[in-house]
Structure 1
Amino acid sequence: MWALRRAANPLRNQGHRIVAASACSAKSDISGGNPVSNEWNCEKDGCSSAGNMFLNSVSHGVSFTKMSILGTRSLSSHAGAKSSDSENDVEEGFSDLELAPETDKVGDSSDDLEDGLSEDELSVEGKDEGADHALGLLDAAKDTNVEKALNKKIGTSPLFKILMEAPRLSINSALDKWVEEGNALGRSEISTVILNLRKWKLYGKALQFAEWLETNKRLDFTERDYASYVDLIAKVHGIQRAEKYIEKIPKSLSGEVIYRTLLANCVAAGNIKKSEEVFNKIRDLGFPITTFAINQLLLLYKRVDRKKIADVLVLMEKENVKPSLFTYWLLIDTKGRANDISGMEQVVEKMKADGMEPDLNIQAMLAKHYIFGGLKEKAESMLKQMEGDDIKENRYACKSLLRLYADLGKAEDVERVWKVCQTHPSFSECLAAIDAWGKLDNVENAEKVFEDLMRTWKRRPSSKYYNALLKVYANHKLLSKGKELAKRMSDNGCRIGPLTWDALVKLYVESGEVEKADSILQKAAQQNQIKPLYSSYLTVLDQYAKRGDVHNAEKIFHRLKQIGYAGRMRQYQALLQAYINAKTPAYGFRDRMKADNMFPNKPVAAQLAAVDAFRKTQISELLD
């Protein structure tokens, strides 16, 4: 039995509410007679997951109801509260997901993908076991012919090529013509096209293709087909439209997979209230609580309110939901972010006791937390484990090692690992090398890797390789070089997306031209269907806050809410800092937060107290 952190009777005494504080009482006794381990420390950085996550003694006879576990009102009561004012590491520190699938060799056209997105734009799909089938159009694993089709390179599907080249308005006519000419359109071909469109993040075209299939009855939709349809609608048109479409799905095919897909999109959008509503809907409909659904909640609360992770763990144990490797990944990362290295290591030990060994991703994450926790020896030991006896045989570890050795400031080791890759590097290794040399302030070497990559690749280069070097220029305030690279990128016909905008915004901000960065961000949002990254807005907002420019800070804050980035404490902190630096009162700010269902954490409470000190009194007005 996986002994997860629990606080039993205090929950029952609160009726249908779960309050994070009650679940975090490290020294309190459970009235059932089993003491909670005093190793659990909930005060560290205000994070409920700090300390010993796994209790040796578990109380029984806990009374739970559907809504008491994850009731919308109770769980939203402190939505967005975070444990510290340094939460921007979610945007710029460790990414929950790899950006895009990588291939092994330079020159493989399948790697020419649109820019990957940050953690906040991506779902847990790629990390959780089984999620690839849950969110894919077809259950490819059940059909060996489909499996073979999925292994094709992107450029080998004639229909995919046609849809790639066709304008959005001509998609339907192109599909009609394909069928009229007698071409086959079975599940194998459909699966290849849809998955490749997804890889390119061409969700609009993928949705149009799915709509055509449904309208023309070219496919007998299964539950997983409908799940993919819902996923595409949510990505293109938003959660509300996806919910409306679910109502049209036949009841016999509207199962747990449909709602878990909706849940994943709610979490990816950072919509706390809707995520909780969908999770409760899954329970109300009598569907089983899966590891996937639990992981989605952990991912959500890891971002917006770590105190609630304890509540999810209680539910997980009560429902006897077994953790996956990604569950441990999330918990380990949460511990590391709270700088609770001891607790992080305890989770690793529990994972091993459950028969799961840390994979390369977890090892890399542990090493990074050791590095930023100042534990250099432990970090180096972990990197040696990742290397193994022969780094040439563990080539797959190179891209992580390049960045981590750079974080440690070990230029010699970066050079050594890069030599292993240099004769025949993969795209991901090139990106890692550019990033690593940039961290080591060796711009010349970063440029050399980039130019070698451009010479090797005969096809149109992907924008993400330009973005990697753009970030290096931004970090070193090389504005003129950044402008030249951006122009070269445009001249070469690269796809300009959120990561490019983010790099340009940072480039101009670091060079002191925040107004230009603001202008780039505004134009990008107006001219494109894809919204800029949350971190791009935060970069500009933070700069206005430093200046004490309340007017422009409020403008960026308003844009964040308009574009759908709501319910995050970080933007409230930045806006309050603008008022503090301007030495002006923020009238009604508490009421604004309350109206947005946001409740101050300790850092924000301190900021609110600071702006209260600027309030005008009768005496101060007379003296002024």
Structure 2
Amino acid sequence: MILQTSISSSLQQQPNISPSTLLSRRTPPSILHLPNRNPNDNSIITCSISQVHCYGGTIDYEKKSPLKWSSLYRRISLMENPDLGSSSVLNMWNKEGRKLSKWELCRVVRELRKYRRYKLALQVYQWMSDQRDKFTLYSSDIAIQLDLIAKVYGISAAEEYFLGLPDASKDKRTYGALLNAYVQAKMTEKAESLLIEMRKKSYDTHPLPFNVMMTLYMKLKEYEKVISMVSEMMEKNVPLDLYSYNIWLTTCGAMGSAANMEEVLERMKEDSTVNPNWSTYSTMASMYMKLGLAGKAEHCLKMVEGRITGRDRIPYHYLLSLYGNIGKKEEIYRIWNTYKSSFPNVPNLAYHSMIAALVRLDDIGGAEQIYEEWLTVKPTFDPRIYNLLMGWYVRNGMLQKAEALLDQVFEGGGQANSISYEILAEGHIKVKQIPEALSCMKEALTAERAKDWHWKPNPSIVSDILLLCEQKTDRDSKDALMELLKQVGCLEDENYMSLIVTNDLGPKLSVEKDSTDDDGADMLLNQLQGGL
């Protein structure tokens, strides 16, 4: 590929920045020190990051309209036949004589991206692109399109789109979007090569590309490279923003040093350009928990509460999750009651966070009670919520109860997603029911195809079914499973197949995680791409 060739040709050794040289004049000696860490420690890193600053939002001088965008969003997101595409709704909207501002359309795109309706979001931008006489698209818009193309059609399509852009559109925003796409796909070599190109073009004078790369290194547990990126930012006088500091904090905690983490916090307090907010203290609480410092973790959670401002709901979700992690049931209910008294409407995500926290503490009675409450007020069915209960039932040998719960959902007009069926598949695997488990995997594929999402089955489930097939010499079921893998493109994915070959972890329930329990790198990457 032309892009790959051009980038690879520019690949060179990154400058060897000596942290000790920087430390002598820029920061206390221990902050960038690499403490000894157990190489066998594979604990998950949690890092809570709030909304991320981006390269610059879409520039638009049209007057901001009332909430007309929400009606348009609902019409697009609730289409009975998504195959018709967003353009069909937009064309009908025009025929009805309703004017559309660019602000409204971009707001719809933002909401669609928030709920991972990437194809519909891309179609909105494609519709605007076809009407250049009405809408002016800037490089920030092009960057969003590139990101969506990568998600919908893959990295190769995003590269081709990038190569076809005029030079004037290949700026820090579009380069940043391609870099983010590489990082999302864990294509380390391409990401590093592209960063070299960005350095040459002086597109590395702001923190976002460094933040994106640091999240990749954090995800790969290459903590020394995270520290190296921080050092490079200091050397080049690139200001660390809130998210740079939060990543740095997380890395220090992951490397086992509470002292280094606390020194980073002190440096952050001394930096007049940033202020530690609730996400900073949420990050520190997570790290303290992993270091076994429960008292310090609780102190940080109190700091989180003290920094909630305005109508921000997200900190409450983190508090529910983190109090669940340290087993403070009374605090979970206290936060929940405070949440409900602070907001007239409680969204699905809040119920998900609350039920996930209770399930984590095995308070299934409390979780079921909150679930029943959710059923009476839910704005829409959300499979992530009943998946939590189904997962607990299956883990505790109650497969029939899990199936009955899903039947009740169907009777009420709800739907399942791929996770729902994978949970049931794992229940059948536990009782060695191969045909039933295989049937669930086929249903999972059907569920995701209906949403036009690209689904790949949990590798551990595939490994467990294959193992059962070997034990029972069930060649037909094995062939059927391999055909399913072929349909979803897994057989050509070497990384995916290596997970199946090397998987020796046994059954691993694919219970959908609370959004606040995600690996910190995943979380930050998702929010970074949302800010492009």
Label 1:561 to 1:364 Cα distance change in 2 as closer, same or farther (>3 A): farther
Unmatched segments (≥5 aa) in structure 2: 1-10, 507-532
The structural deviation recorded for 1:271 is: 1.8
Label 1:143 to 1:450 Cα distance change in 2 as closer, same or farther (>3 A): farther
1:530 corresponds, among 448, 453, 459, to: 453
**2:31–2:260 CA contact under 8 A, matched in 1:** no
Matched, 1:314 2:231: yes
Label 1:290 to 1:186 Cα distance change in 2 as closer, same or farther (>3 A): same
CA–CA distance in structure 1, aligned partners of residues 437 and 41 of structure 2: 24
**Alignment of structure 1 residues 390-409 onto 2, 5 Å:** 397-409=315-327
CA–CA distance in structure 2, aligned partners of residues 545 and 335 of structure 1: 40
Label 1:288 to 1:490 Cα distance change in 2 as closer, same or farther (>3 A): same
CA–CA distance in structure 2, aligned partners of residues 415 and 294 of structure 1: 39
CA–CA distance in structure 2, aligned partners of residues 388 and 372 of structure 1: 23
In structure 2, what residue type is equivalent to 1:44? Answer: N
The alignment's TM-score, normalised by the length of structure 1, stands at 0.64
Matched, 1:469 2:386: no
CA–CA distance in structure 1, aligned partners of residues 468 and 171 of structure 2: 50
User: Identical aligned pairs, as a percentage?
Assistant: 22
Equivalence for 1:270: 186
Equivalence for 1:451: 372
| Alignment deviations for residues 388-434 of structure 1 (CA, whole Å, 9 cap, x no partner) | 49999998754333332332223333333334345667234322221
CA–CA distance in structure 2, aligned partners of residues 202 and 519 of structure 1: 26
The structural deviation recorded for 1:578 is: 4.1
**2:158–2:178 CA contact under 8 A, matched in 1:** yes
The structural deviation recorded for 1:269 is: 1.9
**1:505–1:520 CA contact under 8 A, matched in 2:** yes
Equivalence for 1:367: 285
1:332 corresponds, among 249, 263, 266, to: 249
| Alignment deviations for residues 333-381 of structure 1 (CA, whole Å, 9 cap, x no partner) | 2222333222222222221121433322222222222223221221222
Label 1:353 to 1:419 Cα distance change in 2 as closer, same or farther (>3 A): same
Q: Which is worse superposed, 294-303 or 415-424?
A: 415-424
The alignment's TM-score, normalised by the length of structure 2, stands at 0.74
In structure 2, what residue type is equivalent to 1:314? Answer: S
- The total of aligned residue pairs comes to 477
**1:401–1:417 CA contact under 8 A, matched in 2:** yes
**Alignment of structure 1 residues 347-358 onto 2, 5 Å:** 347-355=264-272, 356-358=274-276
Matched, 1:237 2:153: yes
Aligned to 1:221, the other structure's residue is in SS state coil
Q: Which structure's CA Rg is the greater one?
A: 1
- Which structure has more relative contact order (CA 8 Å, sep 6+)? It is 2
Aligned to 2:63, the other structure's residue is in SS state helix
**Alignment of structure 1 residues 16-415 onto 2, 5 Å:** 16-18=12-14, 37=29, 41-42=33-34, 44-45=36-37, 83-84=39-40, 86=42, 89=44, 94=46, 127-130=51-54, 133-134=56-57, 138-139=58-59, 142-143=60-61, 145-146=63-64, 148-149=65-66, 152=67, 155-157=70-72, 160-161=75-76, 164-169=79-84, 171-217=86-132, 218-304=134-220, 305-355=222-272, 356-388=274-306, 397-415=315-333
The structural deviation recorded for 1:40 is: 5.5
The structural deviation recorded for 1:37 is: 4.6
CA–CA distance in structure 2, aligned partners of residues 381 and 502 of structure 1: 38
CA–CA distance in structure 1, aligned partners of residues 440 and 224 of structure 2: 37
Equivalence for 1:67: none
CA–CA distance in structure 2, aligned partners of residues 159 and 388 of structure 1: 35
CA–CA distance in structure 2, aligned partners of residues 163 and 390 of structure 1: 33
CA–CA distance in structure 1, aligned partners of residues 42 and 140 of structure 2: 40
CA–CA distance in structure 1, aligned partners of residues 122 and 307 of structure 2: 47
Label 1:496 to 1:285 Cα distance change in 2 as closer, same or farther (>3 A): farther
In structure 1, what residue type is equivalent to 2:125? Answer: A
CA–CA distance in structure 2, aligned partners of residues 34 and 223 of structure 1: 35
The structural deviation recorded for 1:41 is: 4.7
Label 1:256 to 1:302 Cα distance change in 2 as closer, same or farther (>3 A): same
CA–CA distance in structure 2, aligned partners of residues 387 and 209 of structure 1: 38
CA–CA distance in structure 1, aligned partners of residues 356 and 26 of structure 2: 51
Label 1:163 to 1:208 Cα distance change in 2 as closer, same or farther (>3 A): farther
CA–CA distance in structure 2, aligned partners of residues 545 and 282 of structure 1: 47
CA–CA distance in structure 2, aligned partners of residues 374 and 413 of structure 1: 19
CA–CA distance in structure 2, aligned partners of residues 189 and 420 of structure 1: 33
CA–CA distance in structure 2, aligned partners of residues 578 and 395 of structure 1: 40
| Alignment deviations for residues 37-62 of structure 1 (CA, whole Å, 9 cap, x no partner) | 5786536226xxxxxxxxxxxxxxxx
CA–CA distance in structure 1, aligned partners of residues 245 and 494 of structure 2: 28
The structural deviation recorded for 1:293 is: 0.6
CA–CA distance in structure 1, aligned partners of residues 175 and 26 of structure 2: 37
Aligned to 1:164, the other structure's residue is in SS state coil
CA–CA distance in structure 2, aligned partners of residues 357 and 39 of structure 1: 19
The structural deviation recorded for 1:484 is: 2.0
CA–CA distance in structure 2, aligned partners of residues 243 and 463 of structure 1: 34
Aligned to 2:146, the other structure's residue is in SS state helix
The structural deviation recorded for 1:444 is: 0.9
CA–CA distance in structure 2, aligned partners of residues 245 and 165 of structure 1: 30
CA–CA distance in structure 1, aligned partners of residues 308 and 207 of structure 2: 36
Equivalence for 2:338: 420
**1:461–1:494 CA contact under 8 A, matched in 2:** yes
The structural deviation recorded for 1:184 is: 2.0
**1:406–1:439 CA contact under 8 A, matched in 2:** yes
The structural deviation recorded for 1:288 is: 4.0
Aligned to 2:218, the other structure's residue is in SS state helix
Equivalence for 1:614: none
CA–CA distance in structure 1, aligned partners of residues 82 and 366 of structure 2: 40
In structure 2, what residue type is equivalent to 1:86? Answer: N
Matched, 1:478 2:398: yes
The structural deviation recorded for 1:494 is: 3.8
The structural deviation recorded for 1:189 is: 3.6
Label 1:275 to 1:181 Cα distance change in 2 as closer, same or farther (>3 A): same
Aligned to 1:45, the other structure's residue is in SS state coil
In structure 2, what residue type is equivalent to 1:221? Answer: L
Equivalence for 1:122: none
Equivalence for 1:442: 363
| Alignment deviations for residues 137-196 of structure 1 (CA, whole Å, 9 cap, x no partner) | x43xx54723x45xx376423894498345423654554444455432331342233233
Aligned to 2:216, the other structure's residue is in SS state helix
Label 1:260 to 1:492 Cα distance change in 2 as closer, same or farther (>3 A): farther
Aligned to 2:52, the other structure's residue is in SS state coil
